[in-house]
Copies of this chain bind each other. A is one copy, B any other.
Amino acid sequence: MVVVMQEGASEAQIEGVVKRLVEMGMDVHRSTGVERTVLGAVGQGRPDATLIEMMDGVDEVVRISSPYKLASRTFKAEPTVVTVGDIRIGGDEVIVMAGPCSAENEQQVRSTAAAVRRAGAKILRGGAFKPRSSPYAFQGLGEEGLRLLRDAANAENLALVSEVMDISQIDLIERYCDIFQVGARNMQNFTLLRELGHRRKPVLLKRGISATIEEWLLSSEYILSGGNTDVILCERGIRTFETATRNTFDVSAIAMVKKLSHLPVVADPSHGAGRRDMVAPLARAAVAAGADGLIVEVHCDPDHALSDGAQSMFPAQFDRLMAELRIIAPAIGRSICLESAPRRGWGK
């Protein structure tokens, strides 16, 4: 922590701050300039910056260590690769997760899963419990949805990611899924994060709609500090003044997070865009910027989807997107699954 005293701060004020910092367990270095005194405080203490800032004579307080530790490049320089079976997220291959917003019925889940596998997706996405802003909207099929998704994933040899909204759902979702998804609204549901830190399955942690990058990494820290090191970050657009697009997809955040953290970061262009004709440009942009993967909403019949239909791609649009991504990925030394995974026979 660096404490910048005001110009003209008195000796008594300076000494008051030094004394307080020492009480807080810090060693203090003092630099006296012509105009100002600057105090550098180092040590094992965790002084409260805002309290120091309120002291007489203090102009500004600057933290000099990031508040997150385990998520930082300082703590671990080499990138983390999260593995699910033979799928490696954060490695050379850009991993694509795709599927419907929510499971609606067997036919819808099956045909969508088959379509995304053929196009090159490795992981099926799909929700069984839906957080909706309005209490009057479709809320998901619950466990029945999870069963449909698992069956389809098995049939198509895909891994499965699905959203967990509450600690009460963790055990259930763990039984069916390979990756826990934590939605944007739950990014600071610390009770949930802490419990996921004690599980062994990877967690895909979406950025809150108005979360800073620092807060996002702090939330990952809740999971990491519990012992679960398999966190996948997911950028999905932030809220800004612009209303022509539903969210502002923060492509800069992808590049910045890769500088600050060793964790893999994927992008959700579907929520970033909010409408299907904007998904492909954002997906291409995310991969070009260095994203380790994508999570995309695809529906076999989006015009009749029970949720998020407008932002779900038709299978043919998704095919074309995958072809475009295969051209882009080599620009940054990455690849994208060329051939669809061999289909594992249903029921085998």
Chain A residues packing against B (C-beta within 8 Å)? 2, 4, 6-8, 27, 29, 31, 33-36, 38, 40, 42-43, 46, 48, 50-51, 53-54, 59-60, 62, 64-65, 67-68, 74, 131-136, 165-168, 185-186, 188-191, 194, 208-210, 212-215, 218-219, 221-222, 225, 237-245, 247-256, 259-260, 272-278, 281-282, 284-290, 303, 305, 309-311, 324-325, 327-328, 330-332
Question: With A245-B256, A309-B48 in contact, is A165–B188 under 8 Å at CB?
Answer: no
| Chain B residues with CB below 8 A from A210, complex form | 208-210, 239, 241
* B191 touching A188, Cβ below 8 Å: no
Stoichiometry, as copies per complex, reads 4
Contact between A38 and B64, CB atoms less than 8 A apart:
yes
**Can you name 16 extra interface pairs (CB under 8 A) apart from A133-B218, A238-B241, A240-B250?**
A2-B2, A31-B31, A31-B42, A35-B65, A38-B64, A53-B310, A60-B62, A67-B133, A135-B222, A185-B189, A210-B239, A238-B242, A242-B253, A243-B243, A252-B272, A255-B278
Most buried by B among A253, A259, A288: A288
Q: Which of B33, B42, B50, B59 contacts A311 (CB 8 A)?
A: B50
Least CB distance, A96 to chain B, in whole angstroms: 15
When chains A and B are docked, how far (Å) is the Cα of A328 from the Cα of B309? Answer: 29
**Shortest distance from the beta carbon of A307 to any chain B beta carbon, whole Å:** 9
When distances are taken between beta carbons in the complex, the residues of chain B under 8 Å from A43 are: 33-34
